[in-house]
Structure 1
Amino acid sequence: MRVQGYVIHTRPFQDDKVLVDILTREAGLIRGVWRKKAKEARVSPGSFLLLEFELSGRGELKTIRTAEALEAPVVLQGTALYSAFYVHELIERLLPTNLPFEPLYILYRWLISHLNGEAPAAPLLRRFELGLFEELGMQVNMSATGRGEVLESQQLYQLHHKFGLRPYYGERPKVKPIVFVDGAAATAYAQGDWGSKPVLLLAKELHRAWLDIALGGKPLKSRSLLPSKPYDGERLWQVPLFQLYRSHPSKL
């Protein structure tokens, strides 16, 4: 079997072998064994490089016969490199093996090519996270309430992971929401307005909360490599508050 893909993670396996996780167009995340030759004791397929792999084996763990580069490698440094490590850890920990996720593969190719440019990393990461949520069926609908009602720009809503958006009228919440958000901000997020700083901050809070739930509260090692700044904006009942419709009172 021949597949095209990117190396997501490698780790030692026995004396002369390496376990390799590959994100492929054809079969999603594949795990294979790469046998190193004696003269290539430290060499294994590299990351950020589109490769064509020849695989064999009927089980879930494949044997990698060959790995041939199809493009020049993407060179990443600094924040771009750490951002890619973060994405690789998300794929490694959340994506099931041997299931095709072609939209996510395409999104990964897009991300790697843009991390190599001058675009800031934050919008790229939020877009990838959203694509990952969509593929895994994890996303929360931010374009309507949990009951399917159209959002009103001036209305304030509370967001719960299980119930989605609910109108908020000033009462103390019985269950702490993830965020409070007005209809304008929720709509801007749903439309992918990544050029808006408030929307990016909203996305950061939402995605972190969803990832923490998906990961069972276990931390991501790669987060420590990326610049981190706690949310220092408005809060309501100690919960982050996001509003774009500024005529709406900032606090109730």
Structure 2
Amino acid sequence: MRVSAYVIHTRPFQDSKILVDLLSLEQGLVRGVWRLPKKEARVIPGPFLCLEVELTGRGELKTLKSMESLHRQRSLEGMSLYAALYAHEILTKLLPLNLPLSDIYYLYQWLIENLHSGVAIAPLLRRFEVGLFSELGSAINLSSTGRGEPLDPKQLYQFHEKFGLRPYFGEIPKLTPLLFVEGKVALDYHNGHWSDKQVLSLAKELHRAWLDSLLNGKPITARRLLPKQPFQGERLLGVPIFRAI
């Protein structure tokens, strides 16, 4: 089988062989064994390059027979590189093997193309995460309450991982929410107002907690490469609160 794919992770396997994780259009996340060329010409397949790959094998672990580039090689540097490595890590940890997910392939392709263009990185990553959550069936609903009621832009809500948004009237909740958010900010997030600093700040805090839940607490090591910038805003009952500015 031939597939269009990007290399998103490599690691040593056996003498003269490596394990390669590919994000493919036709088969989703594929793990295969690649035999390196002769020692004098050993080149490990690089990332961020669309390849045509020939796969063989019926099990989860495939054999990669050939890899040919479909486009000219382009490199990423600095924060753009770190952002791509972060995307690679969460893809390898979240995606099941050998399940076709074409929309995630195109989402990743969109991210890489925009990282090459030099646009602002934070909005790109947040939009990438939103798309990834949606395609995995774990979308975050900030468009209505957990009961399906429309949001009041001026009402303050508490957001719980299991129950979604609930109106907050000043009581001490039995379960501490992940965060508090005003209706307008929640709706701006839902509508993709990524140029709004409050929306970006909300998304960063919310997505971090959401990813930690999806990964059952497994660490994301690439986070160390990105700016930490801990939340410095207002808190309520010890958790972040996001109000319209």
Shorter-chain TM-score: what band?
over 0.9
Report the Cα offset of residue 41 of structure 1.
6.0
Determine the structure 2 residue equivalent to 1:223: 223
Q: Does 1:202 align with 2:202?
A: yes
What SS does structure 1 have at the residue aligned with 2:174?
A: coil
Distance in 1 between the 2:96 and 2:199 partners? 30
Report the Cα offset of residue 42 of structure 1.
3.5
Determine the structure 1 residue equivalent to 2:78: 78
Question: Structure 1 residues 40 and 27 mapped into 2: Cα distance closer, same or farther (>3 Å)?
Answer: farther
Report the Cα offset of residue 39 of structure 1.
3.6
Determine the structure 2 residue equivalent to 1:249: none
Report the Cα offset of residue 182 of structure 1.
0.9
Distance in 2 between the 1:230 and 1:12 partners? 35
Distance in 1 between the 2:52 and 2:44 partners? 14
Distance in 2 between the 1:144 and 1:73 partners? 44
Report the Cα offset of residue 138 of structure 1.
1.5
TM-align CA RMSD: 1.1
Which structure 2 residues correspond to residues 1-252 of structure 1 after superposition, within 5 A?
Answer: 1-39=1-39, 42-244=42-244
Report the Cα offset of residue 140 of structure 1.
2.2
Partner AA of 1:239 in structure 2: V
Distance in 1 between the 2:140 and 2:36 partners? 44
Report the Cα offset of residue 118 of structure 1.
2.4
After TM superposition, which residue ranges in structure 1, 4 or more long, deviate above 4 angstroms? Answer: none
Where do 5+ consecutive residues of structure 2 fail to align?
none
Could you give the per-residue CA deviations for residues 206-248 of structure 1, whole angstroms, max 9, x where no partner exists?
100001111111221100011111100011111101111x5xx
Distance in 2 between the 1:217 and 1:56 partners? 34
Report the Cα offset of residue 185 of structure 1.
0.4
Distance in 2 between the 1:118 and 1:50 partners? 19
Identify which range, 215-224 or 76-85, moves more after superposition.
Answer: 215-224
Work out the number of aligned pairs and report it.
Answer: 245
What SS does structure 2 have at the residue aligned with 1:125?
A: helix
What SS does structure 2 have at the residue aligned with 1:195?
A: coil
**Identity of aligned pairs, percent?**
59
Distance in 2 between the 1:182 and 1:37 partners? 58
Question: Structure 1 residues 40 and 31 mapped into 2: Cα distance closer, same or farther (>3 Å)?
Answer: farther
Where do 5+ consecutive residues of structure 1 fail to align?
247-252
Distance in 2 between the 1:138 and 1:41 partners? 44
Contact 1:180–1:242 at 8 Å: present in 2 too? yes
Distance in 2 between the 1:40 and 1:218 partners? 38
Distance in 1 between the 2:175 and 2:136 partners? 26
Could you give the per-residue CA deviations for residues 170-207 of structure 1, whole angstroms, max 9, x where no partner exists?
10111110110011000000111111110000000110
Could you give the per-residue CA deviations for residues 50-95 of structure 1, whole angstroms, max 9, x where no partner exists?
0000111111111111000001123200000011000000001111
